[in-house]
Structure 1
Amino acid sequence: MKKIVSIIMVLSLMVLAACSMDSGLTDDKKEKKDSMKGVKVGVSISTLNNPFFVSLKDGIEKEAEEKGMKVTVVDAQDDTAKQISGIEDLILQKVDVLLVNPTDSAAISSAVKDANDAGIPVITIDRSSDEGDIETFIASDNVAGGEMAAEYLVKELGEKAKVVELEGVSGASATRERGKGFHNIADKQLEVLTSQTAEFDRTKGLNVMENILQGNKDIQAVFAHNDEMALGAIEAIKAAGKDIIVVGFDGNDDALKAVENGELKATIAQQPALIGEEAVNAAEKILKGDKVDDTISVPLKLVTKE
């Protein structure tokens, strides 16, 4: 009987010790910071070959510098494998918080989970992650923006106008959401001749639009999921000698100039620098132990020459 009691006592002590060890790990992962000075912020950007994401990065760096944070930025160059590798490097560097602008919302999930396992809080910006624990998602309301674009085309051209849609990167949440918003209106009030991806890229926007023009003679308008594709489409339209309205999305500097000179009819303007600032502010709150909303929306506006 004494042996049985002794065994039970030993097992109990082992369980208590294990619980104590688990508790310590959990506390380490959720350690609160009183000051942001020296906090390491890891940033993974889908591509810095797009002015929108350069502005987003600049907004992050400016706000972080003011708070005394140290920022490390990795450029995925629109390559999912490269982005996952870059995030793994940031995890190994033991950053305190991770800001991720995914190239592909589904494919990035594994890297987000790895950050979760390492106890690093993750914030997604402009595009979300399909899986993994995200502290908050900061972006414009892409669905509303897509609706704004379609409503503008209905207003300018009337119902049943023949339009083309240039889609972004397949798998990106922004592509899905902007497309969803656009089709919420367009499927009822416009005639969408074709929807084709140009992967958010200006050169691909030009090439895809050239091909579309060869097979569709009565196009009245183009809605592009970002300004880069819209500007590429404009070059193809000019070369073909066509008079076609083009509406973009983002409000980058080149697009705003194109609106001003009358080449781009309109753009649904985001505020990328503000998105970056909001991401850093959210990171500060999270690291201090404060609560943040699951989604933080940054306002959009329709920009036209008028």
Structure 2
Amino acid sequence: MKKVIVSIVVLLSLIVAGCSTDSPAENNGDNQENEKDGQVTVGLSVSTLNNPFFVTLKEGAESAAEEHGVELTVADAQDDPAKQVSDIEDLIQQGVDVLVINPTDSAAVVSAIESANDAGIPVITVDRSAEGGEVVSHIASDNVAGGEMAGKFIVEKLGGEGRVVELEGIPGSSAARERGEGFHNIVDHEAGIEVVAKQPADFDRAKGLTVMENIIQATPDFEAVFAHNDEMALGALQALEAAGMEDVMVVGFDATDDAVKSVEEGKMAATIAQQPEIIGSTGIETAVKVANGEDVEEFIPVELQLVE
């Protein structure tokens, strides 16, 4: 009789346990249902947030992330290729679903992209491309076309004859290479146009000022300056004004707020307008599609225009 009673007690215990509404998975911090709640996680590595263009790109990404319910983590490489590689490795360790990368250096970033590839994390590049690794989509303006646009503007304003200075971006970056290529596609075929000096100023306003001061000392006779971005153009403008060379035409690239204001005030001659906010938001929208298994275009262009 005692054996029968014990058996009934054990049976009842099993039935009660089986009827419990809390499974082990549900009691584990509710993590199975709410681990991500289907939320896409994206890591955004930006070359530098010391440049208004990339601040606007980040803001565009943040706005799109909020709209699409994306958990976004932003890392600022501070124009340091080694730091960017380290930042990306950290984002990989965090297990983000997709990486959106704005390379500081198109070659140096390859090892980090390959690490993401090995971890099975899709990579999207924005504004600047990478020289290797598997990238599912690149979102940018056509930098070659923008350089050509700047070259045509300068040639036209100079009447096909004149001496020009070129301020280059960070050596090794796709933006510097492509904008320079487009510019030379035009000016190198104009017999009356001579590029009398070209030096890198690393997309930086203070360096643009210093480099232009040095060029003025060494080669004071020129009529126009093409800078690969607005920050360098604005730095060059400061040096030219200090040297009493306000008549020199300065053309930039990016159409940042400061540059557009300078054009409106008649100081800078023109700038090539990119749309960094759209580049950033498109990066996030594309990341969501990739995370959901949708096909995306290998290159997604963002329109350019001349602001004069």
Provide TM-score, normalisation by structure 1: 0.87
SS in 2 for 1:199: coil
Q: Tell me whether 1:165 sits opposite 2:198 in the alignment.
A: no
8 Å CA contact 1:169, 1:197 repeated in 2: yes
Paired with 1:45 and 1:285, the residues of 2 have a C-alpha distance of: 21
Alpha-carbon distance in structure 1 between the residues aligned to 2:288 and 2:76: 23
Q: Which residue of 2 aligns with 1:271?
A: 275
Instruction: Describe the superposition over 1:274-293 as per-residue Cα deviations: whole angstroms up to 9, x where unpaired.
Output: 00111111112211211111
2:222 is matched with which residue?
A: 219
Return the letter of the residue paired with 1:70.
Answer: E
Unaligned runs of 5+ in 1: 1-34
**Mapped partners of 2:86, 2:99: distance in 1:** 14
One-letter amino acid of the structure 2 residue matched with residue 207 of structure 1: T
Aligned to 1:5: none
**Residues 36 and 68 of structure 1 are in contact (CA less than 8 Å); yes or no, is this contact kept in structure 2?**
no
Aligned residues: 270
Q: Using the alignment, how far apart are the partners of 2:148 and 2:127 within structure 1?
A: 17
2:260 pairs with 1:256: yes
CA root-mean-square deviation: 1.1
Give runs of aligned pairs for residues 178-189 of structure 1, distance below 5 A.
178-189=179-190
- Asked if 2 retains the 8 angstrom alpha-carbon contact of 1:226 and 1:248, the reply is yes
The corresponding residue for 1:31 is none
Change (3 A) 1:230 1:37: farther
Deviations 1:85-135 (A, max 9, x none): 000000000000000000000000000000000010000000011000000
In structure 1, the residue corresponding to 2:226 is in which secondary structure? strand
State how far apart, in whole Å, the 2-side matches of 1:272 and 1:161 are.
32
Q: Which residue of 269, 276, 291 maps to 2:295? A: 291
How far the C-alpha of 1:267 sits from its partner, in A, is 0.1
Verify the 8 A CA contact 1:109 1:130 in the aligned structure 2. yes
Partner of residue 105, structure 2: 104
Alignment counterpart, residue 199 of structure 2, candidates 196, 202, 205: 196
Superposition TM-score, scaled by structure 2 size: 0.86
Distance in 1 between residues matched to 2:286 and 2:149, nearest whole Å: 28
CA deviation map 1:16-55 (0-9, x unaligned): xxxxxxxxxxxxxxxxxxx995211100000000000000
In structure 1, the residue matched to 2:28 is none
Kept in 2, the 8 Å contact 1:37–1:69? The answer is: no
Mean CA deviation greater in 279-288 or 243-252? 279-288
Distance 1:71 1:281 in 2: 12
Cα-to-partner distance string for 1:145-172 (whole Å, 9 max, x where unaligned): 0000000011111113110000000000
Q: Please tell me whether residue 94 in structure 1 is matched to residue 95 in structure 2.
A: yes
Distance 2:37 2:199 in 1: 45
- Alpha-carbon distance in 1 for matches of 2:286, 2:70: 13
Letter in 1 for 2:253: F
Kindly report which structure 2 residues correspond to 1:1-306, keeping only aligned pairs within 5 A, or say none: 37-189=38-190, 190-242=193-245, 243-304=247-308
Residue 88 of structure 1 aligns to which amino acid in structure 2?
A: E
Distance 1:254 1:202 in 2: 11
Bigger Rg over Cα: 2
Structure 2: unaligned runs, 5 residues or longer = 1-35
Instruction: Deviation per CA, 1:182-213: give whole Å up to 9, x if none.
Output: 00001112211111000000000000000001
Contact 1:266 1:302 in 2 (8 A): yes
Contact 1:37 1:67 in 2 (8 A): no
**Partner secondary structure for residue 188 of structure 1:** coil
1:217 Cα shift? 2.4
2:44 maps to amino acid: V
How many angstroms apart in 1 are the aligned matches of 2:132 and 2:227? 27
Q: Which moved more, 1:279-288 or 1:49-58?
A: 279-288
Q: Please give the secondary structure, in 2, of the residue aligned with 1:194.
A: strand
Q: Tell me how far apart the structure 2 counterparts of residues 238 and 287 of structure 1 sit (CA, whole Å).
A: 50
**Which residue identity does 1:202 align to in structure 2?**
R
Q: What one-letter code is carried by the residue in structure 2 that aligns with 1:282? A: T
Are the counterparts in 1 of residues 40 and 288 from structure 2 also a CA contact under 8 Å?
Answer: no
